[in-house]
Amino acid sequence: MKVLVGYKRVVDYNVRIQVKPDGTGVVTDGVKLSANPFDDIALEEALRLREKGLAEEVVVVGIGPADLTAHLRNGLAMGANRAIHVQTADAVSPLTAARTFLKLIEKEEPGLVILGKQAIDDDANQTGQMLAALWDRPQATFASKVEITDGKATVTREVDAGLETIEADLPAVITTDLRLNEPRFIKLPDIMKAKSKPIDVIELGSLGVDAADHIKTTHYSAPPKRSKGVMVKDAAELVAALKQKGLL
């Protein structure tokens, strides 16, 4: 079985986000960029399936500009067999990403596609679901446990009421939650080995995907600063302060 893994580059989660002065986006120049944390979890799960003998090949897929190659090398260093770089200088919406994955699925014919449940830059949580609908295959989102047996995936999902276990026929789309696993640490020898692993570069336009974004972001703004807190001596003073603010 071949496993296809989405691998998106985002502003590192330790970086304090700054909005551009003109409100057209966030500052990325000189800012550390890393793999989306949920995508690292997705790749780790694919690698574990391969180590169990349930998968033969793990392929990481990134969609982005020319300098995305260095980021994909991290996925190869982590253990992926090869990478596919769909090159585009334009911002990619979840629907465009799903359509791109569908084209790659038609070519690669994977038995399983694993994506992070969302990217920490837009928090859209849409690509996996859209891909499953376009592919007309089962989906199991927010996975905290995955078991593959007899051509089926048994997935424990994290839902509002607790945990839900579902069974899906393969091929399928799985999106990962935080508690699925702990991604492995990349070692120096693995970084050196990754330099010789193949990366296929494909222009987005050559896939016949309509890259037109149907949703336009008109403005970005930082959240308003919180007012300074007030220290109170006891419950009575707290109640009085809340009444003064009209909250009680």
Q: Is 226 helix (H, G, I), strand (E, B) or coil?
A: coil
Residues 164 and 169: their CA atoms lie apart, in Å, by 17
Residues 43 and 194: their CA atoms lie apart, in Å, by 15
Give how far the C-alpha of residue 183 lies from the chain's centroid of Cα atoms, to the nearest Å: 14
Amino acid type, 206: S
List the end-to-end C-alpha distance of the chain, in Å, as a whole number: 60
Amino acid type, 32: K
| Domains of the chain as residue ranges with CATH | 2-244 (3.40.50.620)
pLDDT at residue number 230: 80
Task: Tell me the whole-structure pTM to 2 decimals.
Answer: 0.85
Encode the chain (248 residues) as per-residue pLDDT tens digits: 999 999 999 888 888 888 888 888 888 888 888 899 999 999 999 999 999 999 999 999 999 999 899 899 999 999 999 999 999 988 888 999 999 999 999 999 999 999 999 999 888 999 999 999 999 999 999 999 999 999 999 999 988 888 999 999 999 999 999 999 999 999 999 999 999 999 999 999 899 887 766 777 888 888 888 878 888 889 999 999 889 888 88
Residues 174 and 55: their CA atoms lie apart, in Å, by 15
Exposure class string for 74-95: b at 16+ Cβ within 10 A, else e: bbbbbbbbebbbbbbeeebbbb
